Structures are given as C-alpha cells and as structure tokens.
C-alpha cells in the first residue's frame, strides 16, 4: 500500500535572520520526507530561504517587527502576530503544524495547541527564570517539542511527562571564500591576517565566556605563547584592549567579512561559560561543516559532541588550551579531516512523520 502524503504547515513567527541556516536545513529535510509543505513567515522572509511565494499560505505583517520594543513590547507584538496566524490560517487543514521558533509567554497566551515546537534557547533560559519555566511548562502540556540534542531531552524528562523528540540541528552549507576590495570598512582586518603564521579566532561575542577571554588577554604565558608561535588572536569585544598579537573586532561584520575571517583562520576558539546549557553552538556546527579545527570549553553541552572529533578538543584552563593548539599543529589528518560520523548530525523526519 502506497504511503499517503501528509500536509505539513511550517511556521516561523519570529523574524530572526540568525535562523536562516537552521530553517533551510529543516525545510530541506522535511521535503525529503516526501510530504506536502506549506509555510507561514513574516512577509518577505521566504526570499531568504528561496521558497516560492505560492507555497506561503500567509505572510505575517512586518509591522510587528519594525523595531525592538523591549521585552514586554516584543512579547505583545509576538502575541498579536500569533493571533493573526490563528485568524487567517485554518490549522484543521494540516496533519502536522511545526513552529520553528517560539517565545513561551506569548505562545501560551495565544492558546495555540496540538502543534510541534522547536527549542532553540527556550529550555536554556527557563533554567534560570522561574517565570519562563512556568510558561514553558504550560505550553508543553498542550504541545510537543523538538529538541536538538539528547541532553536537553534528558533534562526535560526530569521536569514532567512531555512529548519530546530529538532531531539534530544539521550542518550548514560549507562557506565559500568570497572577498573583494569593496569591503573597505574591514580592510584593516584582512591586512592584519597576512602578517602572522597562524590565526586563532573567537567568533562569538554574546555567548562567549568573557571572563575566560579576559583571563587570556591578561595572561603573560598566553601572550608569550602567541608571540613565540607567531599567532594572531582575533576576538570580538566592544571595549578593545590593545595588545601585541591580538586583533579586537568591535564592529558588526558583514556576512562576507565574517566568512572570510572564519575560513582564513587556522583554529576557532569556542569559549562558552558553564551556564551555556540545553542549546546548540552554531559556531561548532560551522566548524564541522567546513572541517575547521576548533578548541572548545569543557562543559557538558559541548562535550556531548566529543564523539564527532578525531582529536581531544576540550580545555579547562589556559595550559590545556595552549596544549591543544600545539597538538593541532602536529595533527595528521590522513586525508580524512578533523571530524567523523557527521551524518549523525543531520535531521531525519521520515520516521518522525510516518
């Protein structure tokens, strides 16, 4: 008997440019499942995903996302966006409705039920906020949740009897080395890169372990190591400290400039604090997708990816960080790269939907 195609509605109610890669990965995986897909996005967002407008059944007015209204104002805007979706979209037409992102307070107030939601930072922020946990719990009573790793599912299983499914984030497409002299604003960055033998780049600012980065900058041992090995340490900070063998980026990088810097770097530093829990590191997945070696904070969320490394990437202090950087210089890839079994990180919706 031939499988009956199911009708799936994929909704991203939040205008988040940082989720473009994620949405592309999940939509591609859903398409491979062979079912019928339709979409709801903030108006114009489908263009970033190369989705034909004929597949979009409703466009959320962009007026809700014109400017940052603060925490309360944003939640009110999200709430009204959800009400508009309920008003103009007939949920009964679909076998499965997926929200690729959500904000727990506004979602609870919208009274939307029997949908499948995708966790990004919702569980992580609920750990430290009783208010967010209260609303997340209420939402999960009436909806199922896709989490991106087993650690998050294990944590939630201790909190209640929820319907939780694990689907990996998936890997973004490999980056292309695109750089033109038109990027005059970032010319000083590119000029510095060619002066050194190696580049160590810490791409994250908002999620980074700022205390550890500051410890590195203050460490005579680390600074001497950089100078001895002719390494340039590039990191982001709004309050730069000028030191030899360091380059501080205090401006927002264009995507092309970021990609160029990422690919030109020899090693990526992923320094996250211990409260980075129940969420995925996009930078780590970028490293894997581009076979770029990285050194990683020894915290549970990141160590859950240890099986995908062909080398010990995890550090707890400056000495271990220096040791790993040195070991990577001797690492023999044997033509096979720095990572393994990466297909395990790709989402698969065949069994999930059927």
pLDDT tens digits, residue range 213-254? 999 999 999 999 999 999 999 998 877 677 889 998 888 888
In degrees to the nearest 10, what's the CA dihedral of 65, 70, 72, 75?
Answer: 30
For residues 154-172, average pLDDT: 93
Domain ranges of the chain: 7-167, 184-328
Task: Return contacts of 159-163, CB within 8 angstroms, 24+ apart.
Answer: none
Residues 198 and 231: beta-carbon distance below 8 Å = yes
Q: List residues bridging with 267 in a β-sheet.
A: 200
For residues 166-175, average pLDDT: 91
What is residue 111's three-state secondary structure? coil
Q: Which of 158-172, 181-195, 225-239 has the lowest mean pLDDT?
A: 181-195
How far is Cα of residue 37 from the mean position of the Cα atoms in its chain?
24
Asked if the model's pLDDT at residue 124 lies above 50, the reply is yes
Closest by CA to 22, choosing from 312, 345, 333, 350, is 345
Q: Are strands 198-202 and 267-270 parallel, antiparallel or unpaired?
A: parallel
- Report the pLDDT value the prediction gives residue 178, as an integer from 0 to 100: 66
| Burial (0-12, 13-18, 19+ Cβ within 10 Å), 197 | exposed
Percent of the chain scoring above 70 in pLDDT: 94
Q: Grade residue 68 by pLDDT with cuts at 50, 70 and 90.
A: confident
Q: Grade residue 1 by pLDDT with cuts at 50, 70 and 90.
A: very low
- Report the pLDDT value the prediction gives residue 118, as an integer from 0 to 100: 97
CA distance 316 to 148: 25
Helix (H) or strand (E) holding 192: helix 187-193
User: What's the pLDDT tens digit per position in 314-326?
Assistant: 999 999 999 999 9
Domains 7-167 and 184-328 share a fold: yes
For residues 333-337, average pLDDT: 67
For residues 112-133, average pLDDT: 93
Please list, in sequence order, all residues whose beta carbon lies within 8 angstroms of the beta carbon of residue 161, skipping any fewer than 6 positions away.
none
pLDDT: which is higher, 332 or 174: 174
Residues 135 and 104: beta-carbon distance below 8 Å = yes
What is residue 191's three-state secondary structure? helix
- Report the pLDDT value the prediction gives residue 3, as an integer from 0 to 100: 65
Angle at 206 (CA atoms; ends 183, 132), nearest 5 degrees: 140
CA distance 178 to 255: 10
Domain boundaries 7-167, CATH class: alpha beta
The string of DSSP letters for 133-159 reads HHHHHHHHHHSEEEESSHHHHHHHHTT
CA distance 157 to 159: 5
Helix (H) or strand (E) holding 295: strand 294-297
CB atoms within 10 A of CB 140: 23
Closest by CA to 159, choosing from 183, 133, 184, 139, is 133
- Report the pLDDT value the prediction gives residue 351, as an integer from 0 to 100: 76
Q: List residues bridging with 99 in a β-sheet.
A: 11, 117
Helix (H) or strand (E) holding 89: none
Predicted model pTM: 0.87
Q: Grade residue 2 by pLDDT with cuts at 50, 70 and 90.
A: low
CA distance 331 to 53: 48
Q: Which residue has the tokens 């041992």?
A: 221
User: What's the pLDDT tens digit per position in 246-282?
Assistant: 998 888 888 888 888 999 999 999 999 988 989 999 8
Helix (H) or strand (E) holding 225: helix 220-229
Which CATH number is correct for 184-328, 3.30.420.40, 3.90.850.10, 3.40.50.300, 3.40.50.2000? 3.40.50.2000
Closest by CA to 201, choosing from 251, 267, 293, 253, is 267
For residues 335-345, average pLDDT: 88
User: What's the pLDDT tens digit per position in 46-60?
Assistant: 998 989 999 999 999
Query: Over the chain, what is the mean pLDDT?
Result: 89
CA distance readout (Å), 209 to 125, 200, 309 = 17, 16, 22
């Amino acid at each position: 008997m031939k499988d009956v195609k199911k009708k799936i509605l994929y909704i991203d109610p939040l205008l988040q440019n940082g989720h473009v890669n994620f949405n592309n990965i999940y939509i591609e995986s859903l398409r491979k499942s062979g079912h019928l897909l339709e979409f709801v996005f903030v108006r114009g967002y489908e263009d970033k995903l190369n989705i034909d407008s004929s597949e979009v059944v409703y466009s959320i007015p962009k007026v809700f996302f014109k400017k940052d209204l603060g925490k309360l104002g944003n939640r009110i805007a999200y709430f009204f966006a959800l009400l508009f979706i309920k008003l103009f979209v007939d949920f009964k037409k679909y076998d499965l409705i997926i929200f690729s992102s959500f904000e727990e307070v506004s979602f609870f107030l919208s009274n939307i039920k029997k949908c499948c939601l995708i966790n990004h930072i919702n569980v992580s922020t609920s750990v430290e906020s009783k208010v967010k946990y209260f609303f997340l719990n209420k939402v999960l009573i009436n909806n199922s949740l896709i989490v991106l790793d087993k650690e998050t599912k294990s944590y939630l299983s201790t909190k209640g009897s929820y319907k939780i499914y694990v689907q990996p984030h998936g890997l973004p497409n490999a980056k292309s080395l695109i750089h033109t002299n038109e990027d005059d604003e970032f010319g000083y960055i590119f000029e510095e890169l060619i002066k050194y033998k190696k580049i160590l780049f810490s791409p994250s600012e908002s999620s980074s372990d700022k205390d550890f980065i500051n410890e590195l900058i203050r460490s005579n041992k680390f600074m001497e190591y950089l100078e001895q090995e002719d390494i340039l340490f590039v990191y982001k900070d709004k309050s730069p400290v000028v030191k030899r063998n360091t380059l501080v980026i205090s401006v927002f990088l264009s995507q092309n400039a970021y990609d160029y810097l990422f690919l030109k770097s020899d090693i990526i530093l992923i320094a996250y604090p211990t409260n980075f829990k129940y969420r995925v590191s996009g930078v780590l997945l970028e490293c894997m997708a581009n076979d770029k070696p990285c050194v990683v904070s020894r915290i549970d969320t990141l160590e859950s990816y240890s099986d995908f490394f062909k080398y010990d990437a995890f550090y707890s202090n400056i000495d271990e960080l220096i040791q790993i950087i040195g070991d990577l210089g001797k690492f023999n890839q044997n033509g096979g790269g720095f990572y393994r079994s990466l297909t395990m990180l790709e989402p698969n919706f065949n069994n999930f939907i059927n």
